Structure 1
Amino acid sequence: MSNGSLESWLHPDTDDQVEHKYLNLHQRVAILLDVAYALDYIAMAQHPLHIVIHPKSSNVLLDSNMVAHVDDFGLARILVEDGSFYKHSTSSMVLRGTIGYAAPEYGAGNMVSTNGDIYSYGILILETVSGKRPTDGGLRQGFSRREYVEQGLLDKVTDIADMQLSSDLENELRSGNDSSYKRRVDCLVSLFRLGISCSQELPSSRTPTRDIIKELHTIKESLNGIM
C-alpha cells in the first residue's frame, strides 16, 4: 500500500527526516472505523473457515486515499471445521498473538476467537489515540496500558493523548474556539473509553463489533460538525 502501515504513521522512524508523518483526529477515527468494518465482516461471515485476524498497527495498511486495509494473514488464526467441533490449524497452535495485543485468555491456552480479536482491536484504539505502543515503557509500576488510560481519564485526557493531538487541542484553545475544543476532547474521551471497553479482561464483557461501529460513527459525526 502506498501509504504504508498505521504503525509507520504512529511511530515514524526518528532517523527519517524526509517526510513528517501526521494523522489528525478525523483520520484516526476513519482508520479505526475501516478496521472495525473488517473485524465485523470476519465476525459475521458464515464461512467453513473461521478466520481470526488479530489486528495490530503493523497489520493495518493505508492506500493512496488513506483507506485502511487489514493485512498480514500470516498471523491469522484459522479454525478448521471438522464435524461437530473445531480444531486449530498448525499456525494457530504455534502462534497465539503478539505481546501487548494478545488477549489474556490466550495465555491460558484458550482457543483463539473473535472475542480475542476485539481485545486486540481495543489495544489498537488505545495505541492510535495515545500514540504509544502497548509495550512502551513509562507506565506506572504494575499498570497495563488499559489501566494507565483509565487513570488518565480521571485526571486530564490531554496528558494521555498523542502529543500531536494534544498540540492540536492547545491550538484550538489558544484560538478561542472553546466549543470546538470541548467537542474534540469529548471525542478523545469516547475513543479511550471504547478502547477500554473492547479490551476488558473477560471476553464476554468486550464490546460487540456492531456496537463498536455504531460508537465510531457517532464520534465521526461529531467531528464532522467541527471540520
Structure 2
Amino acid sequence: MVVAVKVLNLQTRGASKSFMSECKALRAIRHRNLLKILTICSSVDFHGNEFKALVYEFMANGNLGNWLHQVGVGDHEQLEERRNLKLIQRLDISTDIASALQYLHCGCESTIIHGDLKPSNVLLDDEMMAHIGDFGLAKIISTVSSDVAQVQSNSVAIRGTVGYVAPEYGMGDLASTLGDVYSFGILLLEIFTGKKPTDEMFEDHLNLHNFVKNALPDRVMEIVDPFILLEHNRRSWIKDCIVSILRIGIVCSMESPTNRMEMGSVISQLRKIKNTYMNEGLNHD
C-alpha cells in the first residue's frame, strides 16, 4: 500500500503526550472528503529529539494547487497541452471541500477548525474527488510545541497562509469556523478565475475579492479561467452559472465575519448550480 508521511518539524524536546490523544481523536473522524489518517508515529530520533509523524492515505492526483497553477508552462501558447480541470470538476471539487468543512465545523463531537485551507491542502484521488488534508493540525502542533503549550488547544493562534487567512486573525482574533469560511471563499474564487490571491497584480486596495466583485456580473467572462472558455466555445449560457459561483466566493470572503455564509448554505447553492449547469448543458448539446 502506498502512503504519504507527514513529519512534523519539532524544535523542542519533551513534547506533550496529548499529541497521541489529539491524533487518535482525528483518526476516529471519518468523512469521504477528509484525507484519512491511517496511523501515527511518536518516537525519538538518534539525537534524542522527539520524532512525530502522521501517515495518510496516498492521493494519486496530487494537490489542487498543481492543477490550477502548473509551474513553468506559459499562459496561452501551451494552454492546449496543459492538463485541465473541466468546469464540472471544479464545481465538484468545490462542493467536496465545502462538505468536508461542514463536517469539521458541525459533524464532529467538538468543532474542528482547519485554520490553513489553501490549494496545496486539497488532495485529489484517482477519481478526482477532493480530500482536505492537515485538518486539526494547528491543534496537534499546539500539543507538541512548548512555546504554545500554555495556550488552550481550542483557542490556538492560527497563523494560516498569506492570501487565504481571514483579516480578523491579523487583529488577534481567535480562530473560528468563519475564518475557515473566508479561506474557502478565496479558494473558490481562485478555482474559477485561475488567479492566486498573492498574484502580483493585487496591490494597494486591489485583492482577489475586489477584483472579482468589480467584474460581476457584466465582465465575468473577462476574469474567468481561460480553460473554462476553451471548454465552452458557445459560452453565453455558462455566464449565469459562473456569476452564481463567484457570488458565493464573494459572500464567503467578506471582510466582516458575520456577513459570511454558513457552509450548509454553500453546499446547497453549489448543488443547485450544478443541476442548472447539467440541465443547460443537455439543452445546448
TM-score normalised over the length of structure 1: 0.84
Q: Does the residue aligned with 2:164 lie in a helix, a strand or coil?
A: coil
Residue of 207, 216, 223 corresponding to 2:277: 223
Report if the CA contact (8 A) 1:149-1:160 is conserved.
yes
Q: CA deviation at 1:165?
A: 1.0
Q: Does the residue aligned with 1:52 lie in a helix, a strand or coil?
A: coil
What one-letter code is carried by the residue in structure 1 that aligns with 2:113? V
Report if the CA contact (8 A) 1:121-1:198 is conserved.
yes
Flag the structure with higher helix content: 1
Stretch moving more, 130-139 or 99-108 = 130-139
1:23-68 superposed Cα distances (whole Å, 9 cap, x missing partner): 01100000000001001001113424x3211321111000000000
Residue of 89, 99, 104 corresponding to 2:153: 89
Residue of 209, 219, 222 corresponding to 1:156: 219
Stretch moving more, 134-143 or 215-224 = 134-143
2:173 corresponds to: 110
Structure 2 residues not aligned, in runs of 5+ = 1-58, 144-150
1:193 corresponds to: 247
Change (3 A) 1:33 1:76: farther
Matched, 1:59 2:113: no
Change (3 A) 1:147 1:13: same
2:204 and 2:229 map into 1 onto residues whose CA distance is 24
1:176 corresponds to: none
2:135 and 2:267 map into 1 onto residues whose CA distance is 23
Matched, 1:135 2:198: yes
1:73 and 1:42 map into 2 onto residues whose CA distance is 8
What one-letter code is carried by the residue in structure 2 that aligns with 1:222? T
Change (3 A) 1:145 1:75: farther
Report if the CA contact (8 A) 2:112-2:136 is conserved.
no
2:231 and 2:126 map into 1 onto residues whose CA distance is 24
- The higher-RCO structure (CA 8 Å, 6+ apart) is 1
2:62 corresponds to: 4
Residue of 6, 13, 18 corresponding to 2:71: 13
1:23 corresponds to: 85
Matched, 1:101 2:164: yes
Q: CA deviation at 1:167?
A: 2.4
What one-letter code is carried by the residue in structure 1 that aligns with 2:180? D
1:34 corresponds to: 96
1:9 and 1:164 map into 2 onto residues whose CA distance is 12
Report if the CA contact (8 A) 1:35-1:68 is conserved.
yes
2:72 and 2:179 map into 1 onto residues whose CA distance is 32
1:140 and 1:44 map into 2 onto residues whose CA distance is 36
Report if the CA contact (8 A) 1:51-1:76 is conserved.
no
Q: CA deviation at 1:141?
A: 4.5
Report if the CA contact (8 A) 2:121-2:133 is conserved.
yes
What one-letter code is carried by the residue in structure 2 that aligns with 1:208? E
Q: What percentage of residue pairs aligned between the two structures are identical?
A: 42
RMSD of equivalent CA atoms: 2.5
What one-letter code is carried by the residue in structure 2 that aligns with 1:61? L
Q: Does the residue aligned with 2:83 lie in a helix, a strand or coil?
A: coil
1:111 and 1:139 map into 2 onto residues whose CA distance is 27
Matched, 1:126 2:189: yes
